[in-house]
Structure 1
């Protein structure tokens, strides 16, 4: 049996439910033997994927898109300054479930095989996927269900996003149900895109489970895939559209192409569609909450609502020109947090700095249970109950390990972001520049230096904590932070990756000179092009998962269909890799509609193309594919 995995027993306890016979996590078993206390309250953790607080009515957004969450907030306490510890699903849920910083828990890279069919299909079938044990969350780091099971709780997960649970599905769950939110063509799922609207099924399963287990003490985690992109809600929820913002256009490639060119009406339409998807999510969350109330569970249950991250929606064109979420800006990190339950004041709003690494400790404290043995968070219970006015956190930290490795720190007024590859720092004032568009490090040199020193100390503390675990060499986040190759990173490296103009945050288009073109020779019959200029327009091709080892890098470009435009004969592609970079001239007037190799490189990180050329430049596609080490160009 693989280390850290449980024996799987799928039984017909009720339709679609499996029972996992799990081994106790080291430390939790000893704690259980020492204490026989029973938890006094149930715990329900409700999470909505990719729900930015900035777009919720509850948090002041203009869209009236959260009536049910507004009601939930009136019954409990809302935290207005809640920030995720990471800007995307896997590391953020690692933070929630362990109470540890991302580099400490280590799950900071995309899932094994991208949670493709070989992972999602077994989960859908109620089985454990075959994933190398060393790629999973360390068994030395307990998660919330393992913390609660010793105190008489049964545990269940109702989940619709593989990226949130692939690394912990084998741990601590008595009941588990997975509805694939994407990739698998499942009969009966509504929605016309590759992402299915799973909220109806997620809600129905949770309602049925609660009905059958209402008389037991339990922990239930319900994770909705919605309102995650694409914003494919039905017309009944698309109710915020305005006449001037492409009202007849849905979340389509054409809308994204316009938004990437900073068309304000296209961006506004994206925001309207996002608000509609939040409204859709709120509807089904409301159904779940009504079931909780109708069963009388609201009297003895702690309910926590939050999200793993927000969404950029083309708000940062200079470095993250995408609808996606891979930055450390507020719109990615500012998420909701509502706490309801026995002893929790109703209608209370708190403005203290908190993060999702505080959730595990808060759950344990609200249920009158010991704090996790190792945690980077603090219990928010004293603050909720009004027993202290001392801020729980002087600083809040966040990090992104993969696409563009960054770390951030914020205090009550200012925030600093450091980009690790370049050492670039940005500073922002929360009260003066909420969108974080203009760095003010030069205006606040003393504060910038102080925050930089705090962040440096924090990173060193994370490294020390991460290395305190015996299996620290399996830690993804630590390997990336230390710029160290590892067998685990090699396992996660994709053998071939193509980054095209439809590549979201992986295809970073910057500058005002770009135009669209659908020349037949372009990759996917679409590309952007820009006239020659002083490198005032550029594109960066980058990957979520590090390329470890030797990779052949190739480029694809087509033509320009617009009459009278002279295409460049000397375009420079620059390949960046660990330790340096190399540039290569390409004549884009010849060889259109085909791949052209730039060479083989060791540990390439990204490719950059600018419009510094002798004619118009086409920004097509770039391909990275594993290659023979004997051909490496950067040795």
Structure 2
């Protein structure tokens, strides 16, 4: 299982996007590509909880430690005799006692993201004054870590270091039956690929650095050039990741196990690079302020790539709805193990093998549930205050609904004719909204969300279903 953080599925080469991703393209060509795969819990840490447990983090666990009572697929596979390996540079598996390494026989928590890359120096573009877009670039607040050496070239970047380490580890375990999780945080910001990658997407790139302001990029002072630079940096970083995923995939060939190794490639969420007037994946009041404002989760964020390769299975593309909760039961199914009774997901293996597969009626994507005034850890392990109601996104085969509570803005998009979500048609389709909210209500109830979160969000629904929350604390 290969995870690359913050991947925009529409930018990948095999989806017709502009980023050069030859290795993922080749993998997709011999695999089942899930074209309607969506994030469930959002963002980084909640998504990993979903992957490893098959349960939604948004209802209670949120951005926090893996609860001791939860069973990770790593534990299940280890107990079943699999050699389990984790190689990660996403910097939240072990920090603050999060324990997402639980159950792995071997676990490498790489320090390449930690996050002591020197502050970007300001630059001087031809004919312009020195400036650095987005303010001072952050040193991510991971505690108790030694800063790595400054990067001197591509091989010092996180993705190469992680993929090379994973390839070396496979030499030790490839004769076993094994499960390997390889997780790189790139192309998550800060975007700092070697310049030669960036120039493939912006030929006149002059060394600029852009940090996303997490909000309205125009209000943040970003120019058209700044947006171009941001997109080019992101694309360059994504191409770098693809190159080194190729190194890991090639190792399977050299070890002679390519024809008997299943491969999953997935991401946790996407990113807005100027679409809808926004730059980032959430909206904060102002750069540096510890507050979250209304943060709509559009398609560019919630729709993410999923490739599943099973040797001998016919390649293809599947348009049925799937989500992050389906990863854990799929892996257990591949291993011949029964899914846990606590799992909310469904195995995708039937779809991969060309068997009947219905998919989901809808997918709910949400950040950890919080009401205005609540403080939550989201995005970078810092506590922030939620100032406005956060909309969830409920996606069906045809529709995308962004909804928080009655009285707050409602956005409904017909994805059949408006995949870019340009025209809000909420006023024209109250029946569609009502149907999607019924699924939303059932999701909240099944997830174990408490009355504090359910009552304000389901106020209208409860008026016609007054006993719906009976027994909910």
| TM-score interval, normalised by the smaller of the two chains | 0.7 to 0.9
1:262 positional shift:
6.0
Change (3 A) 1:261 1:431: farther
- Counterpart check, 1:186 vs 2:147: yes
- Counterpart check, 1:279 vs 2:239: yes
Other-structure match for 1:378:
346
Change (3 A) 1:64 1:482: closer
Q: Which protein shows a greater Rg?
A: 1
Other-structure match for 1:305:
265
For the 8 Å contact 1:191–1:232, the answer to whether it is kept is: no
1:344 positional shift:
2.6
- Counterpart check, 1:345 vs 2:314: yes
User: Which 5+ residue runs of structure 2 have no aligned equivalent?
Assistant: 117-145, 283-294, 369-375, 377-385, 457-473
361, 367, 370: which one aligns with 1:400: 367
- Counterpart check, 1:84 vs 2:42: no
Change (3 A) 1:164 1:315: farther
Q: Distance in 1 between matches of 2:436 and 2:100?
A: 37
Change (3 A) 1:262 1:173: same
1:373 positional shift:
2.5
- Counterpart check, 1:222 vs 2:182: yes
365-374 vs 421-430, greater mean Cα deviation: 421-430
Q: Helix, strand or coil: the match of 1:163?
A: coil
For the 8 Å contact 2:201–2:235, the answer to whether it is kept is: no
Alpha-carbon RMSD? 2.7
1:87 positional shift:
3.3
Other-structure match for 2:62:
108
168-177 vs 252-261, greater mean Cα deviation: 252-261
Other-structure match for 1:572:
none
For the 8 Å contact 2:158–2:184, the answer to whether it is kept is: yes
Change (3 A) 1:455 1:190: same
Q: Distance in 2 between matches of 1:372 and 1:297?
A: 29
For the 8 Å contact 1:85–1:95, the answer to whether it is kept is: yes
Structure 1, residues 127-181: CA drift from partner, whole Å, max 9, x if none? Answer: xxxxxxxxx2222221110121121112111111123554233510111111131
Other-structure match for 1:525:
none
1:199 positional shift:
1.5
TM-score by length of 2: 0.76
Structure 1, residues 35-63: CA drift from partner, whole Å, max 9, x if none? Answer: xxxxxxxxxx11001111022112221x1
Q: Distance in 1 between matches of 2:28 and 2:199?
A: 23
For the 8 Å contact 2:86–2:106, the answer to whether it is kept is: yes
Other-structure match for 1:148:
77
Change (3 A) 1:87 1:313: farther
Structure 1, residues 500-534: CA drift from partner, whole Å, max 9, x if none? Answer: xxxxxxxxxxxxxxxxxxxxxxxxxxxxxxxxxxx
Q: Distance in 2 between matches of 1:287 and 1:157?
A: 17
For the 8 Å contact 1:259–1:266, the answer to whether it is kept is: no
Other-structure match for 1:66:
21
Change (3 A) 1:228 1:427: same
1:189 positional shift:
4.9
Q: How many residues end up aligned between the 2 structures?
A: 390
For the 8 Å contact 1:98–1:144, the answer to whether it is kept is: yes
283, 299, 302: which one aligns with 1:330: 299
1:272 positional shift:
1.9
269, 272, 275: which one aligns with 2:229: 269
Q: Distance in 2 between matches of 1:276 and 1:331?
A: 18
Structure 1, residues 68-102: CA drift from partner, whole Å, max 9, x if none? Answer: 00011112111111111133101111111111122
For the 8 Å contact 1:308–1:335, the answer to whether it is kept is: yes
Q: Helix, strand or coil: the match of 2:86?
A: strand
Q: Helix, strand or coil: the match of 1:274?
A: helix
- Counterpart check, 1:47 vs 2:14: no
Change (3 A) 1:456 1:253: closer
Q: Distance in 2 between matches of 1:174 and 1:189?
A: 31
1:249 positional shift:
4.7
Other-structure match for 1:361:
329
For the 8 Å contact 1:426–1:440, the answer to whether it is kept is: yes
User: Which 5+ residue runs of structure 1 have no aligned equivalent?
Assistant: 1-44, 112-135, 467-477, 485-635
Other-structure match for 1:251:
209
Q: Distance in 1 between matches of 2:233 and 2:178?
A: 36
Q: Distance in 2 between matches of 1:253 and 1:151?
A: 44
Q: Helix, strand or coil: the match of 2:403?
A: strand
Change (3 A) 1:189 1:454: same
Q: Helix, strand or coil: the match of 2:92?
A: helix
Change (3 A) 1:445 1:255: closer
- Counterpart check, 1:160 vs 2:118: no
Other-structure match for 2:439:
454
Q: Helix, strand or coil: the match of 2:275?
A: coil
1:423-462 correspondence runs (5 A): 423-462=408-447
Q: Distance in 1 between matches of 2:239 and 2:306?
A: 17
245, 248, 259: which one aligns with 1:288: 248
